[in-house]
Amino acid sequence: MNSKNSEKLSKIKQLVSKYGIALILVGMVILMTILKPQSFPSAKNILNILNQSAIVGIMALGMTIVIISKGIDLSVGSVLALAGVVAASLSQTSAASIKVFESLGQQPIFVAILAALAVGAAAGAISGGLIAFTGIPAFISTLGMMTIARGIVFLYTQGQPVSKLSDGMLFFGSNVFEVIPVPVIVYGIMIIITAIILGYTRFGKSVYAIGGNINAAEVSGIKVKRNIVLIYIFAGVTAALASILFTGRVASVHPGSATGYELTVIAATTIGGTSHSGGIGTVWGAVVGTLILSVLTNGFTLLGIDPYWQQIVQGMIIVGAVVLDMRKNAKKA
Amino acid sequence: MSDIEYILEATNIVKKFPGVDALKGVDLRVKKGEILGLVGENGAGKSTLMKCIIGIHPPTSGEIKFDGRQLNKFSTSDALSMGISYIQQELSPIEYRPIMENIWVGREPRNRFGLVDHKQMYEDTKELLLSIGMDEDPKMLVRDLTVAKQQMIEIAKAVSYDAKLIIMDEPTSALSGSEITELFSIMRKIKQEGKSIIYISHKLDEIYTITDRVVVLRDGEFIGAKAIDEIDVNQMIEMMVGRKVTDLFPKVKCEICDVKLEVQNLSSGKEFQDVSFDVREGEILGIAGLVGSGRTALIETIFGIRKRTAGHVFIDGQEVNIKSPADAIANGMAFLTEDRRLNGIFPMLSVKTNIIVANLNNLINKTGLLNTKLVNMKSLEYIDAIQIKTPSQDQLVMNLSGGNQQKVLVGRWLMTEPEILFLDEPTRGIDVGTKSEIHRLISQLAGQGKSIVMVSSELPEILGMSDRVVVLSQGKLTGILENSDELTQEIVMQYATNNMS
Ligand SMILES: Nc1ncnc2c1ncn2[C@@H]1O[C@H](COP(=O)(O)OP(=O)(O)OP(=O)(O)O)[C@@H](O)[C@H]1O
Ligand SMILES: [Mg+2]
């Protein structure tokens, strides 16, 4: 091989290792545009993809912070359901036949939203507090929270779906100006907020320090315990926000809702390059990882491929993305 | 009372760990504007005492007064904000973050919106690095720096706190000569500003160069405090060890027989080129050179850790093609790495397991299971031989003192009884008494006809132990010197700097 060629090759290699996962997304988009030039690149379809991304995407933002800190949060699916049924129960119209609170009239929408956020924050504070103050692994603490929260959902609803919701709540499943889905706007705002938190606040820097080297973080005077609690509160709040979008969209929250979402969220985060060894990860990665999953679903639907294949491909992408990242981060010998 | 002002007064500090009394009532006083040396054997309690002062471990009992104030129940961040900063014995970088974030973590400069001001942080870092003679880009990831540079970053960080007392726990164990000089000039400047430093090191020449006073600990007890010009090195060693250490390099002249390992025109990329030498049975071959001269790369290449780009390796006259450490081990080699924390220790496993783990094949009985009796016997034998200070062989390695963790690794490789043993800085961070023990073991192995290749930055060690010395300079072989009384440190340095007259 001549030197020019090999130079080119090493340039490509650099590019791939720097933008690896974004390139996969671009590749998927190009491929779909070629295969379905009519339906895939339309504005309507793109907004649809973004709309489908919002719920998992917002939770992936929280999960990214958790995983950068070398933790994990298995409870986000159940917390979504819990915050969702609480929000829904507080926004049932008087026309509802089965009500969680028999005599409660219709509440203003902000009550439902605040209640959902409070539920998410409380669940996060409990999981995070257990991790920080008892030293149990995040996996265990949030596994417990996942099961407990789901149990509370069933108790709270007596196993019944919560439906007949106010217009205020249904707004979160609608479009503004007829075209832009509200979830896309909320997702966009959350991306910006999370990017600022992670990149430009002391809290964000501490998250990287705690995940990268907890000993260094401690010796540098970072209040590690307090930060860990905050990290899980943030994750809980993202689940609560997602629950509002979820409730607005489906208009009726079933107690079994969002089962297994935590794994999709972890998958999106992982594909986005956040390392489970801690200390590595970005907001942009989380967005790209989420979009890859959504484009995949959308593409398979448009192409009419058996949806079971989707699971197989999704699994391969998760593993492939991590292999790619490991190579990127491997110690230069 | 006298009018000496103390910045720190720690009185009757006791620290108990399960099964270990690490400190048994130690007093430590540091004057304002002095550099206090703290010395003692591995496991004497030096690091533990420092951890009590910085708030990592609360002492079991005792009193700590800093700057005239009594401290009760305080955290590391309290200690930092009062004006104590700390360089840990083990390097502890946040590898995937830039230099600047490593330095300012937890106290990043902020703009008026309360957001981190990256520009300010960049400039502050640039200035700080320049002041310690570094010109690295503050945005560089710490993982891309050499261990020595990482250590310099830790030093920069400790200095940047503008503390009244800086604790330095073995800061030079990864540094080369010029960096040590740089560190010492920084330390003198700090002292001139009326601030104090506690300086821990096993290199006694450094203690004599830089400190004003020394405090000696042994087995968790305060043994004595002396002005540095009132104590000679033998007295100091005797205070540390509790007995006289007569021979630091107990080298026995052994019979040197046939060539065991031969290396011809070996190269590995840019690290080193065209190096040829041989090692005979029963010989100790020293490899000297400045940091960055390719010493470690050379033996790593022979051992299959690094890729060989040219050259041949022969064992017993037969060419061998070693592509991985497993190949090397199969060919009777063993390797004690320089970077022990990263490449060797299993911190969550016991001392025993850490010692035997490279030796499992020799410790199984006929059924293929581990022979527990033999395992216990063997591991005790080595714990004894190299004097690993541990309450039992089942103690987790992470609970040992830094130097004792290193001894565990020395034990692991000595136990494999290899034909060819590569040692990279075998006594770094190890106290004088044990140094002499390890040297005796190395010498003993050579006496059994093994071939030893030893990289060391400490020239007295090279001259005290080697039969011949290979000197590298900037990746090139500059000399193979026969060790005799005429060979001096100066001569070796001339070859190492490639500055022969
Ligand atoms: N976390 C811990 N748990 C149990 N024992 C410990 C712990 N930390 C230290 N020790 C023990 O306390 C004693 C003193 O250790 P320390 O690290 O202070 O020694 P040191 O003087 O710094 O030695 P070195 O020169 O090897 O660094 C040792 O016997 C060590 O095994
Ligand atoms: Mg120590």
DSSP string, A270-330: HHTT--TTSS---HHHHHHHHHHHHHHHHHHHHHT--HHHHHHHHHHHHHHHHHHHHHHHS
Same domain? B471 vs B455: yes
**Measured between alpha carbons, how far is A225 from A213 in angstroms, rounded to an integer?**
14
Is A264 within a domain? no
Q: Which residues in chain B touch residue A192, judged by CB atoms under 8 angstroms apart?
A: none
> Which of the listed residues B417, B435, B468 is the one where a domain comes to its end?
B417
Give chain B's domain count. Answer: 3
- Cβ atoms of B265 and B310 within 8 Å: the answer is yes
Same domain? B283 vs B151: no
> B129 CB under 6 A from ligand 1?
no
Residues of chain B with pLDDT under 50: 1-2, 501
Is B354 within a domain? yes
Instruction: Among B398, B399, B431, name the best residue to mutate to test ligand 1's pocket (greatest count of ligand atoms within 8 A of Cβ).
Output: B399
User: What is the per-residue pLDDT for A72?
Assistant: 96
Q: Which residues in chain A touch residue B306, judged by CB atoms under 8 angstroms apart?
A: 333
- Strand-by-strand arrangement of the B259-268 sheet: B272-280, B259-268, B310-315, B318-320
Range with the poorest average pLDDT among A103-107, A289-293, B434-438: A103-107
- Cβ atoms of B121 and B108 within 8 Å: the answer is yes
B193, B298, B307 from B334: Cα distances, Å: 49, 14, 18
**Measured between alpha carbons, how far is B225 from B205 in angstroms, rounded to an integer?**
17
| Average pLDDT of span A161-182 | 83
Same domain? B425 vs B413: no
- Say which residues have a Cβ less than 8 Å from residue B341's Cβ, sequence separation at least 6: B90, B91, B405
| Contact yes or no for A205 and B105 at CB 8 A | yes
| Contact yes or no for B94 and A213 at CB 8 A | yes
Q: How is residue B407 written in tokens?
A: 């001894």
Spacing, Cα B51 to ligand 2 middle (Å)? 10
Structural domain boundaries, residue B393: 345-417
Instruction: Among B167, B221, B386, B401, name the best residue to mutate to test ligand 1's pocket (greatest count of ligand atoms within 8 A of Cβ).
Output: B401
**Measured between alpha carbons, how far is A240 from A121 in angstroms, rounded to an integer?**
8
Is B339 within a domain? no
Same domain? B74 vs B104: yes
User: What is the per-residue pLDDT for B2?
Assistant: 46
pLDDT for residue A78 is more than 50: yes
Question: Using the 8-state DSSP alphabet, how is residue B262 labeled?
Answer: E
User: What is the per-residue pLDDT for B133?
Assistant: 83
| Average pLDDT of span A49-57 | 93
User: What is the per-residue pLDDT for B210?
Assistant: 93
Same domain? B365 vs B318: no
**Measured between alpha carbons, how far is B435 from A270 in angstroms, rounded to an integer?**
47
> B89 CB under 6 A from ligand 1?
yes
Q: Which residues in chain B touch residue A333, judged by CB atoms under 8 angstroms apart?
A: 305-307
> B351 CB under 6 A from ligand 1?
no
User: What is the per-residue pLDDT for A116?
Assistant: 94
Q: What is the pLDDT of residues B459-470, one digit of tens each?
A: 888 988 999 999
Could you say which of B92, B101, B115 has the minimum Cβ distance to residue A219? B92
Q: What 3 state SS string does B213-239 have? A: EEEEEECCEEEEEEEHHHCCHHHHHHH
Same domain? B226 vs B260: no
> Which of the listed residues B185, B208, B241 is the one where a domain comes to its end?
B241
Between residues A293 and A170, the one the model is more confident about: A293
Is A195 within a domain? yes
User: What is the per-residue pLDDT for B1?
Assistant: 43
Q: What is the nearest CA distance from B339 to chain A, expressed in angstroms?
A: 14
> Which of the listed residues B214, B241, B268 is the one where a domain comes to its end?
B241
Pairing of strands B213-218, B196-200: unpaired
Task: Write down the residue that tokens 């009726």 correspond to.
Answer: A252
> B40 CB under 6 A from ligand 1?
yes
Q: Which residues surround ligand 2, an ion (CB under 5 A)?
A: B 47, 89, 401-402
Mutation site, A219, A223, A280, interface B, largest B CB count within 10 A: A219
Same domain? B322 vs B236: no
Instruction: Among B17, B170, B350, name the best residue to mutate to test ligand 1's pocket (greatest count of ligand atoms within 8 A of Cβ).
Output: B17
Is B462 within a domain? yes
Is B338 within a domain? no
Same domain? B437 vs B370: no
Nearest alpha carbon, ligand 1 atom 5: B399
Spacing, Cα B399 to ligand 1 middle (Å)? 7
Element (H, E) at A247: helix A224-250
Q: Which residues in chain A touch residue B56, judged by CB atoms under 8 angstroms apart?
A: 218-219
Same domain? B21 vs B156: yes
**Measured between alpha carbons, how far is A78 from A260 in angstroms, rounded to an integer?**
9
Same domain? B95 vs B202: yes
User: What is the per-residue pLDDT for A1?
Assistant: 43
Spacing, Cα B87 to ligand 1 middle (Å)? 16
Spacing, Cα B43 to ligand 2 middle (Å)? 7
Give chain A's domain count. Answer: 1
User: What is the per-residue pLDDT for B483?
Assistant: 86
Same domain? B413 vs B423: no
Q: Partners of B268 in the beta sheet? A: B272
User: What is the per-residue pLDDT for B371?
Assistant: 85
Closest C-alpha among A299, A237, A231, A297 to residue A267? A297
Atom of ligand 1 nearest to the CA of B44: 21
CA angle A192, A60, A150 (to 5 degrees): 130
In chain B, whose CA is at the least distance from the CA of A209?
Answer: B94
Q: Which residues in chain A touch residue B88, judged by CB atoms under 8 angstroms apart?
A: 215, 219
Is A237 within a domain? yes
Q: How many contacts, defined by CB atoms under 8 Å, are there between A and B?
A: 83
DSSP for A107-144, written as a single string = PPHHHHHHHHHHHHHHHHHHHHHHHHHH---HHHHHHH
> B340 CB under 6 A from ligand 1?
no
In chain B, whose CA is at the least distance from the CA of A203?
Answer: B106
| Contact yes or no for B97 and A208 at CB 8 A | yes
Is A34 within a domain? no
Is A174 within a domain? yes
Q: What is the CATH number of the domain that holds B183?
A: 3.40.50.300
Is B340 within a domain? no
Nearest alpha carbon, ligand 1 atom 2: B399
User: What is the per-residue pLDDT for B23?
Assistant: 92
Atom of ligand 1 nearest to the CA of B220: 14
In chain A, whose CA is at the least distance from the CA of B143?
Answer: A331
Could you say which of A204, A221, A331 has the minimum Cβ distance to residue B76? A221
Phi then psi dihedrals of residue B69, to 5 deg: -110, 140
Is B501 within a domain? yes
Q: Which alpha helices (DSSP H) does B32-117 contain, by range?
A: 46-54, 76-82, 99-104
Closest C-alpha among B240, B215, B186 to residue B403? B240
Is A231 within a domain? yes
Indicate the average pLDDT of chain A: 88
Closest C-alpha among B253, B256, B308 to residue B278? B256
Same domain? B108 vs B250: no
- Cβ atoms of B335 and B363 within 8 Å: the answer is no
In chain A, whose CA is at the least distance from the CA of B160?
Answer: A220
Q: How is residue B96 written in tokens?
A: 């995937």
Pairing of strands B84-87, B165-169: parallel
Structural domain boundaries, residue A224: 50-259
pLDDT for residue A333 is more than 50: no
What percent of chain A is modeled with pLDDT above 90? 53
**Measured between alpha carbons, how far is B449 from B90 in angstroms, rounded to an integer?**
36
Phi then psi dihedrals of residue A120, to 5 deg: -60, -45
